[in-house]
Amino acid sequence: MDSTLACLTAWMPRQRWYAAKGRPPSLRLVAWWDAPTPAGGTVEGDAAELSPADARVRTFLVADEGALPVVLYQIPVVSRATASVDASPDHIIGSPEPGTTFIDGPFDPAYTSALLSLVTRGGQGTGLRAVATGRPTRIVAAEAFRTATVLAGEQSNTSVIYRCEDGSMPIICKVFRQLHAGLNPDIELQTALADAGSAHVPLAIGSLEGRWPGMSGANDTVTGSLAFAQEFLPGVEDAWRVALHAAARGEDFRDRAHALGAATADVHLSLAGLFPVRETQPADREATAATWQRRLAIAIAEVPAIADRRQAIEAVYSRALEIAWPPLQRIHGDYHLGQVLQVPGRGWVLLDFEGEPLRPMSERVQSDLPLRDVAGMLRSFDYVAGSIRLDNPERSPEAVRDWALSARRSFVEGYASTSGIDSDVEGPLLAALELDKAVYEAIYESRNRPTWVTIPVRAVARLVEKPATVG
């Protein structure tokens, strides 16, 4: 097993989903499970025609103890005889021993076949201190799917797209790379919404649930989510690209923004009917205010332009704390234009209900303010305008700003028309939530993309000057 961990240790830092950039992991094997032998046909990869019988499919759960807190990773591995390997070098993990090669599971047909069988038919994979159980939600014919390809460009997870030769509904299965105890909110919320008949989320197909030793050091066992399969919507663009192209061409986006606001409110209303709703307590307000102040303190230390506006920012926060707050409920939690698809004949469809990736899972599953999602989308519209100004400095800043302001107003109007909120009454709270988001963005951009820091800094200036208005 030492040779296996050595292979993974050398390979993981090159993967986009590996969280500790610039540092090799300090790995400990927590558990592993082997996939059951698939019944029926196999799904073939684009670059290989190898039978699952030629390979061993094992998923390792490894803890990076060099991270604080410790991070638990899921690493699906296909082990093949080196002489038979026909995989791209980019997808080869390494050779733990002479004559054996490890392949990154999602890029090998043995793993993709086993994964599809588990999430669509059910069954169990067992191994050392771990069990994986398939939980089908909707009946599909797994044998009809003939190709499996990995979605490019993902940061936190790895998704496999399964397609049929007859053109029927494709499936996308997200493999969670970082594991947490408890049901992943992406599965929990999307499945509940889809089962309730919401047109604003993809159909849920099934999921993979795991059981493994807890990380507390005690002899406890936890249950968590390993993968989630849902309807794949091909040939569509996310709202970020749609909005960016519209803004670049100067197209009127008000009707589409209004419809997006209405779809957002419809999903919030559905979530309020499916999950508990509770009144905001003083402790909730105090915790939110403490988060605002903690984030502001970091921004003041790292972004001089934010420090210059400290008193004005704190005044916006104070106004929000003086009004009554609406009830708390389940929300999207990481809402922006990139999390929405424009689907012809169906409208806007929301994706990725995992919440903010950097927040602990225990926080992501808590009830929150629906206006937090609204604030996130308002910031996203602002980023469309900001990115165009950065890419095309000769473009009229007034025209781009006017486009963003009209989109923002239309989005809020669409949201209010469906949700029934009074944007004038709740304006101070929305302004504070958007301002806090912009302060967070200023910290992020100063650390990671310094040339982009002007986008949130300009937003902060605007929000403290006109804190009660969307424009």
The angle that helices 239-249 and 370-391 make with each other, rounded to 10 degrees, is 50
| Nearest C-alpha neighbor of 117 from the set 142, 149, 144, 141 | 142
Q: Supply the mean pLDDT for the chain.
A: 92
Please state, in angstroms and rounded to a whole number, the distance separating the CA atoms of residues 48 and 378.
Answer: 45
Task: Give me the residue label for tokens 């926080």.
Answer: 363
Please state, in angstroms and rounded to a whole number, the distance separating the CA atoms of residues 444 and 447.
Answer: 5
Pairing state of beta strands 131-136 and 27-34? Answer: unpaired
CB 12 within 8 A of CB 56: no
Asked if the model's pLDDT at residue 312 lies above 80, the reply is yes
- What are the beta bridge partners of residue 101? 80
Q: How far is CA 408 from the centre of its chain?
A: 23
CB 453 within 8 A of CB 446: yes
| Confidence (pTM) | 0.91
Higher-pLDDT residue of 420, 165: 420
Please state, in angstroms and rounded to a whole number, the distance separating the CA atoms of residues 185 and 182.
Answer: 9
Strand ranges, E, within 202-275: 204-213, 221-231, 237-238
Average pLDDT over residues 313-327: 96
**How do residues 100-112 score in pLDDT, each as one tens digit?**
999 999 999 999 9
DSSP state of 368: B
Task: Give me the residue label for tokens 């002489």.
Answer: 83
Strand ranges, E, within 82-200: 92-97, 100-104, 123-126, 131-136, 145-150, 157-164, 171-176, 178-179
Please state, in angstroms and rounded to a whole number, the distance separating the CA atoms of residues 32 and 129.
Answer: 7
**How do residues 328-375 score in pLDDT, each as one tens digit?**
999 999 999 999 999 999 999 999 999 987 778 888 999 999 999 999
What pLDDT, on the 0 to 100 scale, is given for residue 153?
Answer: 83
Average pLDDT over residues 435-442: 96
| Nearest C-alpha neighbor of 149 from the set 207, 177, 208, 108 | 108
Please state, in angstroms and rounded to a whole number, the distance separating the CA atoms of residues 259 and 381.
Answer: 14
pLDDT class for 469, splitting at 50, 70, 90?
low
**How do residues 443-465 score in pLDDT, each as one tens digit?**
999 998 999 999 999 999 999 98
